[in-house]
Amino acid sequence: MAVDPVLRACRLCWRQADLLGTDDITTAVQNGHQLFFADLFRSRRGKATHPGPPGQRPGPTARFGTAGTRPPEARQWTIFDALRPNTTTTPRPCTRCGQRPVKHHQAEYCYPCQPATQVTPPPCSKCGSPTDYYTAGLCIRCYRFSPLTVDSCPDCHAWGTRRGNNWLCEGCRAWRRNHPHLGTCGMCRQSRHINDDGICRLCRKQPLWLPDTARAELAEHVRRWGHQLYFADMFSGLGVRVARAAAAQRRRLLITHPIPPRHPVRHQQLAGFNLPRDLRAGREHGFPPPADPELVTYLDTCVTEHAARHGWDGKVTTRTRMGLHILLGLQDTSGAAINATDVIALSCLRVPVRPILDVLTAVGYLHDDRVPTIERWFAHKTAELPETIVTDLQLWFDVMRHGHTSPPRSKPRAPRTVQSKLRWALPALHAWAEAGHEHLREITRDQVLAVLPASGTPRHTMLQGLRSLFRLLKVHKRVFVNPTARIPVGRLTGRIPLPAPVDRIREALADDDPTRAAIAALVAFHALASGQLRDLQVTDVYDGRLHLGDRSIPLAYPVRDRLRIYLDYRAARWPATGNPHLFIHYRSANHIGPVQIEWLAHRLGLPTQSLREDRILHEVHATGGDIRRLCDLFGLSVAGAERYVAVFEPSDPN
């Protein structure tokens, strides 16, 4: 504890004499110390000006007698002075002009109204400014109670700073803290706080408006035309994102010379044992560096070009490079193609997997060893069937997926079609396997009729799946006859369209989420299908119309309002994205593919088909079941329109 060399006592003991009204410090601390609140120990009468005898309080002064006793007048200690209201007011106005304050608290006039002679106001005693003198030796910026509340930053001249930060904006405060050196800026030649490159913050911000400009050209522009000023504390949010997006667009247009292609090596060192890698341990202790620095430079350049073309932000670009460096360091053969399964394994490190796969695919360094989801699904669904039946199913599955180029030729089918056909036929296949059949050659017409449902949609779908299976096996000579031939399919029982709950539609239309509100408006007003929503592009909406192929749909005003809000949100959230589709999310913004239909339904909160049917049913009731109008308005076929008209019951004219 700090001890006074004259009193030989600490500050706490010295204060006890004040509280007990004695000058003897030893007597004052016999019974302990009286504690007090911090920063509240002030006297309104002042304090002693010179030390007293050793062991006693300072004195004697004019207030103490020769014996060191106190004067008879009382002293009021202000222990809770912080609670006393502040009675300080603005300075008195000049008695002559009544506009400016007096030059100091004892004067009656301001400096311009001095009666005797014109006197130049002195410079500010705090900042040294020779202008804008206010009162009490301070300028209008430094005086605490001056009417000036908003001014410009003295470093970057940004408008909107306040006295609380010494008139500095937040950016210049951080700049002064990080760059305390005061020197002459290399561009504007002004004395300011400069960084290691000799540039002040104001000049450092100019490339935001003049991107891709050399330093010498930028310095000449600044000296000739001056700086582009801005408002204080606004270097965040939409303004910076739009500026960065414009800079990214310019860089994208400047890329005219493609990168010389590089191909992976043909040889590859095979591993004796495929052991799983502990990537979490590598995150804690570090990964090995890549063995080929030239390949690292090449892929980094490819990432930069790909990011500029697709509008990636800095975080995605940086983490994509980091993931590629990890993969190159873990390669068994330097320069070989990278396995897609190794890229997917990096997901535990929070590395963007899809951007890495896109870059490697674009440059030809990806070896796609992933097992397609539909193949895993097929293996799971046929695991309990006999091996001979699975062999025939595998032939049907391969031909349906990839087609057959030699006679008998066939075209490949969509994965959803293959899954639907097999899903419809699986109940019959499992029933035959449980009955002891080990080959599809044993199946007869009677056995097919035995497993078929009596009627309706289940009979129709199961027979469609079995007919597809046996027809292909018959053509490829795996079975002798087609047992499903000439079996009547029956009439398909269609689903009756029903109206959607009105409260859920209103909730979706009035939602604060601009994406959900825009999707709901397009479906609720114009009955767009899920595929149309997914493939809709930004350029399809212009002049108040929605252009779908050869159709031009005038947009309703509620739809226009919600689309405008969504487009503003999209431009602010992903200002530089290269994805042309209208509806995107944080993952699809990094590539040019559409979103999934399931994402649209999940974001909407109810099936899009249900909302579409509700809109068409409303039009059916409004037009009295006019099929021609339904076809023109919603792009339906005649058969599709009849499905909705069939449930229409015209009102009784009487």
Is the link from the previous residue into 60 a cis peptide, with omega within 30 of 0? yes
Interval 111-121 mean pLDDT: 77
Structure tokens at 319: 């983490």
Does the structure show a pLDDT above 50 at 596? yes
Does the structure show a pLDDT above 90 at 560? yes
Same domain, 393 and 331: no
pLDDT of residue 651: 56
CA-based end-to-end distance of the chain: 105
Q: Look at 40-54, 100-114, 549-563 and tell me which has the smallest mean pLDDT.
A: 40-54
> How many other C-beta atoms are found inside a 10 Å radius of the C-beta of residue 383?
8
Interval 71-87 mean pLDDT: 45
Euclidean distance between CA atoms 209 and 186, whole angstroms:
19
Structure tokens at 386: 């006999």
Of the candidates 343, 367, 391, which is a domain's last residue? Answer: 367
Interval 523-531 mean pLDDT: 92
Residue 637 sits in a domain whose CATH number is: 1.10.443.10
Does the structure show a pLDDT above 70 at 518? yes
Indicate the pairing of strand 541-542 with strand 366-367. unpaired
Instruction: Give the burial class of 44: count Cβ atoms within 10 A of its Cβ; 0-12 exposed, 13-18 middle, 19 or more buried.
Output: exposed
Q: What angle do CA 260, 261, 267 make, to 5 degrees?
A: 140
Euclidean distance between CA atoms 128 and 154, whole angstroms:
13
Same domain, 309 and 413: no
CA 289 to chain centre: 31
pLDDT of residue 649: 67
Number of domains the chain is built from = 4
Residue 478's pLDDT band (boundaries 50, 70, 90)? very high
| Helix or strand (DSSP H, E) at 42 | strand 42-43
pLDDT of residue 272: 78
Q: Please give the mean pLDDT across all residues of the chain.
A: 83
Is the link from the previous residue into 386 a cis peptide, with omega within 30 of 0? no
Structure tokens at 177: 């803290």
282: left (phi over 0), alpha (psi -120 to 50) or beta: alpha
Same domain, 319 and 336: yes
Euclidean distance between CA atoms 230 and 156, whole angstroms:
9
Euclidean distance between CA atoms 174 and 156, whole angstroms:
13
Same domain, 569 and 631: yes
Indicate the pairing of strand 138-139 with strand 133-135. antiparallel
| Beta carbons of 52 and 25 less than 8 angstroms apart | no
**Domain presence at residue 414:** yes
Q: What angle do CA 595, 236, 589 make, to 5 degrees?
A: 10
Euclidean distance between CA atoms 399 and 469, whole angstroms:
11
**Domain presence at residue 87:** no
Does the structure show a pLDDT above 50 at 79? no
Interval 78-83 mean pLDDT: 43
Same domain, 571 and 457: no
**Domain presence at residue 308:** yes
Of the candidates 347, 367, 387, which is a domain's last residue? Answer: 367
Domain that holds residue 362: 282-367
Question: pLDDT by residue (tens digit) across 286-336?
Answer: 888 888 889 999 999 999 889 988 888 888 999 999 999 999 998 888 889
Same domain, 404 and 527: no
Helix axes 502-509, 514-526, angle to 10 degrees: 130
| Helix or strand (DSSP H, E) at 133 | strand 133-135
Give the sign of the dihedral formed by CA 310, CA 316, CA 318, CA 321. negative
Instruction: Match 């088909």 to its residue by tokens.
Output: 609
Four-CA torsion 406, 407, 409, 415, nearest 10 degrees: -70
Structure tokens at 419: 């899954």
Does the structure show a pLDDT above 90 at 162? no
Same domain, 352 and 381: no
> How many other C-beta atoms are found inside a 10 Å radius of the C-beta of residue 611?
24
pLDDT of residue 576: 86
pLDDT of residue 126: 82
**Domain presence at residue 320:** yes
Q: Which residues contact 145 (CB under 8 A, 6 or more apart)?
A: 88, 89, 90, 91
Q: Greater confidence, 344 or 131? A: 344
Same domain, 309 and 394: no
| Helix or strand (DSSP H, E) at 139 | strand 138-139
Q: Look at 149-163, 267-281, 346-360 and tell me which has the smallest mean pLDDT.
A: 267-281
pLDDT of residue 239: 57
> How many other C-beta atoms are found inside a 10 Å radius of the C-beta of residue 358?
20
| Beta carbons of 477 and 399 less than 8 angstroms apart | no
SS3 161: strand
pLDDT of residue 84: 46
Instruction: Give the burial class of 419: count Cβ atoms within 10 A of its Cβ; 0-12 exposed, 13-18 middle, 19 or more buried.
Output: middle
Same domain, 360 and 392: no
CA 463 to chain centre: 49
Same domain, 361 and 379: no
Does the structure show a pLDDT above 50 at 80? no
pLDDT of residue 89: 60
SS3 56: strand
Largest CA distance in the chain: 134
pLDDT of residue 4: 75
Same domain, 423 and 326: no
Q: Greater confidence, 36 or 480? A: 480
Task: Please provide residue 210's backbone torsions phi and psi, each rounded to the nearest 5 degrees.
Answer: -125, 70
Instruction: Give the burial class of 467: count Cβ atoms within 10 A of its Cβ; 0-12 exposed, 13-18 middle, 19 or more buried.
Output: buried
**Domain presence at residue 570:** yes
Question: pLDDT by residue (tens digit) across 386-413?
Answer: 999 999 999 999 999 999 999 999 999 9
Euclidean distance between CA atoms 492 and 457, whole angstroms:
5
Euclidean distance between CA atoms 129 and 120, whole angstroms:
13
Of the candidates 426, 442, 476, which is a domain's last residue? Answer: 476
Please state, in angstroms and as integers, the Cα–Cα distance from residue 217 to each residue in 124, 157, 205, 250, following that order.
39, 22, 15, 17
**Domain presence at residue 86:** no
Residue 489's pLDDT band (boundaries 50, 70, 90)? confident
pLDDT of residue 82: 43
| Beta carbons of 494 and 643 less than 8 angstroms apart | yes
Same domain, 639 and 510: yes
Euclidean distance between CA atoms 450 and 154, whole angstroms:
91
Question: pLDDT by residue (tens digit) across 643-652?
Answer: 888 877 665 4
| Beta carbons of 199 and 185 less than 8 angstroms apart | yes
Question: pLDDT by residue (tens digit) across 624-642?
Answer: 888 888 888 888 888 888 8
| Residue 151 bridge partners (DSSP) | 161
Q: Which residues contact 623 (CB under 8 A, 6 or more apart)?
A: 629, 630
- Of 597, 592, 575, which is closest to residue 358 (Cα–Cα)? 592
Question: pLDDT by residue (tens digit) across 259-291?
Answer: 778 888 888 878 777 777 888 888 778 888 888
Does the structure show a pLDDT above 90 at 254? no
pLDDT of residue 633: 86
Residue 470's pLDDT band (boundaries 50, 70, 90)? very high
Q: Which residues contact 233 (CB under 8 A, 6 or more apart)?
A: 158, 160, 169, 170, 171
Q: Greater confidence, 7 or 304? A: 304
Position 363, amino acid = V
Instruction: Match 């919600």 to its residue by tokens.
Output: 562
pTM over 0.85: no
**Domain presence at residue 158:** yes
pLDDT of residue 44: 40
| Beta carbons of 322 and 289 less than 8 angstroms apart | no
Residue 110's pLDDT band (boundaries 50, 70, 90)? confident
| pLDDT above 70: percentage of residues in the chain | 86
pLDDT of residue 449: 92
Euclidean distance between CA atoms 497 and 532, whole angstroms:
20
E strand segments, 163-282 = 182-184, 191-193
**Domain presence at residue 124:** no
